[in-house]
Structure 1
């Protein structure tokens, strides 16, 4: 091989050899530079600049117009692996096509998000697929296979799974710790990641901001101990944005950034996403860590080698080879059809008494009402729309524009203050309009942050003031929209302008709150926290106006005093009245309610309630009072608790925000062109009281998700109706080696063709430990014509019947009886058949031989798991320094018993041991200096001999950490 074509450019050589060759040609400084997200070019080698990370959750995001598919939770609602794989293929083809035009578009895509939707109040629930690990891993595997492509060597894009690990809260997301016991870790959280990695379709993972068991995910030992054992392929670990700095900053886990960077690199982080495009801070920290001996060059080489493998797989060094060397496809008819198909399949029919489908030929007058009736909402991870379809658009197209009326239901208001009534000045002629271009993309002339449009003023004559559409999104969060469609927004100069096409941005600048104040209200701008004031140069947001009394102002940067304005609200027309009138004049009403994905539940912001916003609740009630033939469509990123709507309305549907084809898809479902067959990917609860604390990650002990929830949900996991009926028959269950073959027949017994989502669950009938009420092990979406039947067969791995045995630290399938259940939802089981698994009974814990790891408890109360050391291991500590209790079942103390306990502890507190029957065994005081990572053995004799198989109870109190328990035998 000549130097004109060095080995790293020789496609005949294996990737390992090529990566090592290129690595050997890089200088130490060049290797360090490759550790930052934005790596510079190495011109002397002809190596281009590269960056990790391109958002592609449901389409290529942040890079301009692209095909926008339904939100990830909507893709999860399709329960259709093949469809989701095809969506992944389309997204990866568009990424290639867009990169051919703009080299800022990356091919290392950060998608999908596979965090389980454990708690529906999580603000980022729209990004995940399901609360169930089996469904999540199936959909994630499908999407990553589509993103990767099927070429054996070259990848179309290189997907990175988000966010490792146990991440379900935005509240204090960088400082909170998820307490995840071993059973939950192995049975729940790890399973969401594992299948996709084992399928060979994943290039790597991104750690989450939070801590798990007291240790930041960016130094998680699970990267080494689990993730990298699932595949022989080098996996790339990309940090989340700013997370490396959090290790020494907000988390305070390390004293210096050099220590933090070194620890993350040793734990397995290969690419540091920090300080934007400026790599100097990270590279300086790496060099500082080298100088201090915290890492050595081999640690850097390991990370760089993994990055080079990704670049080789993407064909960077073989630009003329492989199936992905061309530009790819972009906004093709096939992609547009696929976006529509995905949106149709994502619709879930929650309830229907026969009102649906509507007959377009019947000449019915349809009123489409509600805040989302004429909206096609995007989210933080959407691309810009090439095409746009709202429910109003879709229904007018399908039912006839002359038969469809619209009422948004927003209150129309004027805002009066001491100097007059708020007024939007006339925009220059070139700036007028709704903000949407002809292709549906956002018009850059009307994006938030503009400072060249005139700010709001006041009009002395109230009649000259602007009438704003006020929408209450819940929790007192408001948007105000001018008559030309522009939202009030606040730019960097703190002036208030009608300048935004939609609410959006990392910090939303279009939301306000009316706060009672004397005989009127103050208007707080939520994005800045300041109150709106009126000055001679226009309406603006005053700085530092928290805690204002009266109208006292606060000093602005220029020394002037800005007094917050006190507003009175004049309601010109109530939205409820508008809806009532429209509903009363129609034959049928479609209320479209839900959320704006940038408001009240999104990245950085958890929800506070499952309830539908009060203003929206009033709208559907008003519509129903005026017209009983009312359908409620919830277009949202997450579930709502709507028990009254479910009980009182004849039809109820849910769809995630469905992307560019959302409105057309909804209209086709309502008209019966498509029989809805989406299924809920998470439980819909009836009330906030059904939920545990958002930070309670113990799905087993907290009885969370459909797996363990003991109450009655509003709508169960897997629920969804169709416009036809299906029968299930002839269930056969047969053990075949390490698998169980499950087969049954599904028949469409109705009058219309439809998809059906057949679901298979398993339940352990005589478990020795708490097991799920039922657990999904297989599913398939099939299409059947009227009268058509299909025999469905599933091969379920026997391991799917297992659980993590904390007594012996292994996955185990317990012998005993199991029930296999088949039906269209987790609560609608049509068939059941038993299977008995033979084998030796589970052995008790061999306590004298192995002792007990404190984290391997069976039950707990009042404790949390913490980091045993900064590098690895878990321990148990009382929550908030109080008192807690651990229970270890079936501890075998041997025929002669044990007489002494040796407890590995750190900190100060009390440990008490007793048998489950109340017999006290020991009580010891611990006082180990230099907590929390300095442990010492605390030896204490037992006051009674523990003999044979017994349940052991351990009580902890104080600022104490318990790592292990060991026992010495009693003499013969």
Structure 2
């Protein structure tokens, strides 16, 4: 490829790349060949500049579109992704994505971008298919499910809706987030997710594969974290797995970085010495677009130019990435606006009546009835007067990736409107204290100016107002985190960056840096100090002017405040509940607080203030239903045991209140089912950075303690019966297929929605098999008394596990169970299935290189990178670690050869045992020498002390600081 431009002999509109009659590849190559090297290098940044001489417009990778178009202005806002996951409805997900992509097209044509030049991007950074392994993940709201099959199918449906149905042109270009094994926020840029091969292939990769292999996903975003010690932005899996899956579709994936992640490779990860080296490594690994330094293209351009000059990358490396970008741009119709079937999208589609109705349907079908002793649906005498109570009773929150809601139907509004139609009424009480804060230095109340409700707060005593007028509603989110909402302005108090003053001017807490969260901390000399959590600074008052600024660095320098409770929230809520026929308590989280991007949750219980409110209301009005409106599960053990009804909804978008009213009043059947396990409060969860779901016991597949609410759980207002589970055959070959049929009947007195869930289980497996595993599901609607035969085609490959001995998916012959039911813990029917075929032989270890990571079991190890570009190794996580390689054929072995590296001081050695250490046979011990570097590998050998024969479980024990990549038993 020449580094100089090819002359444009023809008018621009007659150049070959402008000719739609030519094939896509030919057009891309023609345009690529006309770009200078500098123009191509510039295209590697997120903000790809225009090439005016060729009529090529500026291009930006990425618009957020997780559950509606985000960050661009008011747009239809659907339930959070975890709520969409609760629908178990691929058709609905596709419809939501279609509406989102249509609105994204409208923003592209009719609204200026908030930053940068050109137009709003048609590349959609959605959906998120990271699995919800740990419910404490701060971004739990962004994923669909803890199950890879469930998440993969919903992600594929969403991508199909985003990309559209045209054979040549994309409506938008969906990008799967975030590759790979990303499920923690705390220190996310430096933490490493340890993935043994079975977890990698059976769990984390599986969530991405479906949408890529189908061609529905056009790109992938790499994750911030490391996997096995290697940053995801230089992962070989981008090429060896993702792009290999995409190859049969005829299109290559366009892989983008996450924001600032390319720079993170040097600082804070320190994985490379300089940015030219790190950017070059990322480009070679498969990153095509660098989202770094905002709109500043020059920094990335300079680093890439330096990498070229140093020979770290070639022009072909640059061309490969630019070729993928151009391919997406051609498919989005950029160069054929007259042929683009989506080019005439008008602004009227945004928040259209059809999209509002779809938002209502999605919000309704995502609601899960967790428990019900007959209180719901609310009807008759129970609907004359309803107390809607709680900090989320009359509030809808947006999250970081939400669109701006065009309107907000809260729980109270939805119920009030619905009940008014039948002569009922709603009384709404948030149940939070209203407080006044009096400055000790001035004696005045902290207050909002009467003449300027959005102006700076003062404590100067000039406003002659009561405690009530100067009051702030105090929302306690747990962990000492508070928000303050002015009684006068109705807005939340926020710290202003420009001058550190306080103003009550925010509709809700929000933004990347949340300025609206505070702590009221007790001072040693009495009173309290007000601290902003974002800045860490304390409020001070100028005694002369009463001006309040958040500038003090220590509590000693801070103003002392005297808190007075003007109205007691719990007492107000109890009075409202006692005077009502039924209470609906709406609790949950604010998605910007105590669990969000960059911050994991500390636990899974409700904030103590919310738990106290709930118990007090229930004591006053036993007919109390709890509605949890949250981004993640809560351990509501007390509520499950003592309340007659518990309901969950995610933050469901603009139609949340109408949807809740419809379900609570029984006008709509609750159709949602949980997409992740809800654990009990006393259940000690695995360590949050333990990504080995098998060993740690994560998700319904491996968790052994009984959950509060299981994966797939959700009740109905009617009932369903299952009968006549049949398999087309009781046996199947290892590469065969079985037809599974079950009859489902609506046995209740009203129509209802059921999600028929098909699971499998391996019996007497030679590996640690899942307790059960989702194999298929079907959502059906039945009328009263209606029966339907539901059939599934079950390829036996769904019974496969990743065989570490062969490095491939394998279906072992033997006994299996096919199970159907309402959820993972409510299995109704089972049927046996026998898989026929040759039994697996023993593992070959003699004269065969065995990767250390291909163990069957382990204790005490950490997975690390063998090299910066490829390969994994193991190292002790403490003093020692052991690896187990089961059923190894040791015939003919005479010596052990191990590939090791070591930089740590002190002694280190490696032991080989046939059978368990201490009780088996010690075969060899090797002292591991220092190799001078973690990537400096050497082979060490030792003769076996005995000549073993036959098949044994092989144990390797690593003691001291060392890394093991592989071993071989030599004959």
Instruction: Tell me the TM-score range normalised by the shorter chain.
Output: over 0.9
Partner of 1:952: 954
CA distance in 1, matches of 2:948, 2:658: 70
Please state if 1:57 is matched with 2:49.
Answer: no
Q: Which runs of 5+ in 1 are unaligned?
A: 433-445, 447-452, 552-562
Partner of 1:197: 212
Secondary structure at the aligned position of 1:395 is classed as helix
Please state if 1:405 is matched with 2:424.
Answer: no
Partner of 1:747: 745
CA distance in 2, matches of 1:700, 1:564: 50
CA distance in 1, matches of 2:162, 2:937: 47
Measured after TM superposition, the shift of residue 538 of structure 1 is 4.7
For 1:768-807, list aligned pairs within 5 A: 768-807=766-805
TM-superposition CA deviations, 1:64-115 (whole Å, max 9, x none): 0000000000000000010000000000000111211125321100000100
| Aligned equivalent of 2:401, options 354, 357, 381 | 381
Partner of 1:489: 494
CA distance in 1, matches of 2:504, 2:45: 39
Measured after TM superposition, the shift of residue 523 of structure 1 is 1.4
1:357–1:672: 8 Å Cα contact kept in structure 2? Answer: yes
Please state if 1:892 is matched with 2:889.
Answer: yes
CA distance in 2, matches of 1:199, 1:873: 28
Describe the shift of the 1:241–1:605 C-alpha distance in structure 2 as closer, same or farther (beyond 3 A): same
Secondary structure at the aligned position of 1:599 is classed as coil
Secondary structure at the aligned position of 1:488 is classed as strand
Secondary structure at the aligned position of 2:86 is classed as helix
CA distance in 2, matches of 1:957, 1:209: 32
TM-superposition CA deviations, 1:501-557 (whole Å, max 9, x none): 1111101000001122122222110010111111145554444624x4xx3xxxxxx
Partner of 1:645: 639
| Aligned equivalent of 1:831, options 811, 829, 833 | 829
CA distance in 1, matches of 2:547, 2:954: 68
1:530–1:541: 8 Å Cα contact kept in structure 2? Answer: no
Please state if 1:425 is matched with 2:471.
Answer: no
Describe the shift of the 1:907–1:891 C-alpha distance in structure 2 as closer, same or farther (beyond 3 A): farther
Partner of 2:4: none
CA distance in 2, matches of 1:156, 1:713: 42
1:54–1:107: 8 Å Cα contact kept in structure 2? Answer: yes
Please state if 1:623 is matched with 2:617.
Answer: yes
TM-superposition CA deviations, 1:270-309 (whole Å, max 9, x none): 0000000110000000000000000010000000000001
Please state if 1:8 is matched with 2:17.
Answer: yes
TM-score by length of 1: 0.94
1:590–1:633: 8 Å Cα contact kept in structure 2? Answer: yes
CA distance in 2, matches of 1:92, 1:527: 35
Measured after TM superposition, the shift of residue 360 of structure 1 is 6.0
Partner of 2:689: 695
Q: 77-86 or 417-426: which moved more? A: 417-426
Partner of 2:259: 241
Measured after TM superposition, the shift of residue 903 of structure 1 is 4.0
Measured after TM superposition, the shift of residue 421 of structure 1 is 3.7
Secondary structure at the aligned position of 1:194 is classed as helix
CA distance in 1, matches of 2:782, 2:448: 59
Measured after TM superposition, the shift of residue 454 of structure 1 is 2.7
Describe the shift of the 1:822–1:139 C-alpha distance in structure 2 as closer, same or farther (beyond 3 A): same
Measured after TM superposition, the shift of residue 689 of structure 1 is 3.8
CA distance in 2, matches of 1:738, 1:849: 34
Partner of 1:230: 245
Secondary structure at the aligned position of 1:836 is classed as strand
Partner of 2:880: 883
Measured after TM superposition, the shift of residue 2 of structure 1 is 5.1
CA distance in 1, matches of 2:380, 2:764: 53
Describe the shift of the 1:10–1:360 C-alpha distance in structure 2 as closer, same or farther (beyond 3 A): farther
TM-superposition CA deviations, 1:793-849 (whole Å, max 9, x none): 111222110010001111101111111111111111111111111011112211013
Partner of 1:21: 30
Measured after TM superposition, the shift of residue 11 of structure 1 is 1.2
TM-superposition CA deviations, 1:735-778 (whole Å, max 9, x none): 57632221111111111111111100000112110011110011
Measured after TM superposition, the shift of residue 362 of structure 1 is 6.1
| Aligned equivalent of 2:517, options 488, 499, 511 | 511
Partner of 1:394: 414
Partner of 1:558: none
For 1:550-589, list aligned pairs within 5 A: 551=556, 563-589=557-583
Partner of 1:128: 143
Secondary structure at the aligned position of 1:457 is classed as coil
CA distance in 1, matches of 2:389, 2:743: 42
What RMSD over aligned residues (CA atoms) do the two structures have, in Å?
A: 1.6
Describe the shift of the 1:581–1:153 C-alpha distance in structure 2 as closer, same or farther (beyond 3 A): same
CA distance in 2, matches of 1:716, 1:682: 7
CA distance in 2, matches of 1:215, 1:595: 34
Q: 238-247 or 688-697: which moved more? A: 688-697
Describe the shift of the 1:533–1:608 C-alpha distance in structure 2 as closer, same or farther (beyond 3 A): same
Please state if 1:338 is matched with 2:358.
Answer: yes
| Aligned equivalent of 2:535, options 525, 528, 533 | 528
Please state if 1:467 is matched with 2:467.
Answer: no
Partner of 1:556: none
TM-superposition CA deviations, 1:309-352 (whole Å, max 9, x none): 10011011000113211125322211110000000000000000
Please state if 1:140 is matched with 2:155.
Answer: yes
CA distance in 1, matches of 2:224, 2:481: 27
CA distance in 2, matches of 1:885, 1:571: 59
Secondary structure at the aligned position of 2:519 is classed as strand
Partner of 1:914: 913
1:77–1:681: 8 Å Cα contact kept in structure 2? Answer: yes
Measured after TM superposition, the shift of residue 928 of structure 1 is 2.4
Secondary structure at the aligned position of 1:731 is classed as strand
Q: 125-134 or 317-326: which moved more? A: 317-326
Q: Which runs of 5+ in 2 are unaligned?
A: 1-8, 114-119
2:624–2:645: 8 Å Cα contact kept in structure 1? Answer: yes
Secondary structure at the aligned position of 2:39 is classed as helix
CA distance in 1, matches of 2:545, 2:262: 43
Measured after TM superposition, the shift of residue 361 of structure 1 is 7.5
CA distance in 1, matches of 2:896, 2:280: 41
Secondary structure at the aligned position of 1:420 is classed as coil
| Aligned equivalent of 1:927, options 926, 929, 942 | 929
Partner of 1:436: none
Partner of 1:68: 77
| Aligned equivalent of 2:844, options 835, 843, 846 | 846
CA distance in 1, matches of 2:135, 2:660: 24
For 1:297-446, list aligned pairs within 5 A: 297-328=315-346, 329-359=349-379, 363-400=383-420, 403-418=425-440, 419-428=442-451
Secondary structure at the aligned position of 1:139 is classed as helix
Measured after TM superposition, the shift of residue 623 of structure 1 is 0.7
1:33–1:283: 8 Å Cα contact kept in structure 2? Answer: yes
In the comparison of the two structures, how many residue pairs are matched?
932
Secondary structure at the aligned position of 1:454 is classed as coil
TM-score by length of 2: 0.94
Secondary structure at the aligned position of 1:168 is classed as coil
TM-superposition CA deviations, 1:707-756 (whole Å, max 9, x none): 00010100000000010001111112235763222111111111111111
| Aligned equivalent of 2:673, options 679, 692, 697 | 679
| Aligned equivalent of 2:506, options 491, 500, 504 | 500
CA distance in 1, matches of 2:615, 2:237: 50
Secondary structure at the aligned position of 1:8 is classed as helix
Q: 935-944 or 308-317: which moved more? A: 935-944
2:900–2:962: 8 Å Cα contact kept in structure 1? Answer: no
Describe the shift of the 1:397–1:346 C-alpha distance in structure 2 as closer, same or farther (beyond 3 A): same
TM-superposition CA deviations, 1:606-660 (whole Å, max 9, x none): 0001010000001110111001000000000000011111000000000100000
TM-superposition CA deviations, 1:162-209 (whole Å, max 9, x none): 000000010000000111110000000000000011111111100000
Secondary structure at the aligned position of 2:695 is classed as coil
CA distance in 1, matches of 2:41, 2:142: 33
TM-superposition CA deviations, 1:44-68 (whole Å, max 9, x none): 1111110001000000000000000
Secondary structure at the aligned position of 2:268 is classed as coil
Q: 401-410 or 263-272: which moved more? A: 401-410
CA distance in 1, matches of 2:736, 2:299: 52
Describe the shift of the 1:495–1:409 C-alpha distance in structure 2 as closer, same or farther (beyond 3 A): same
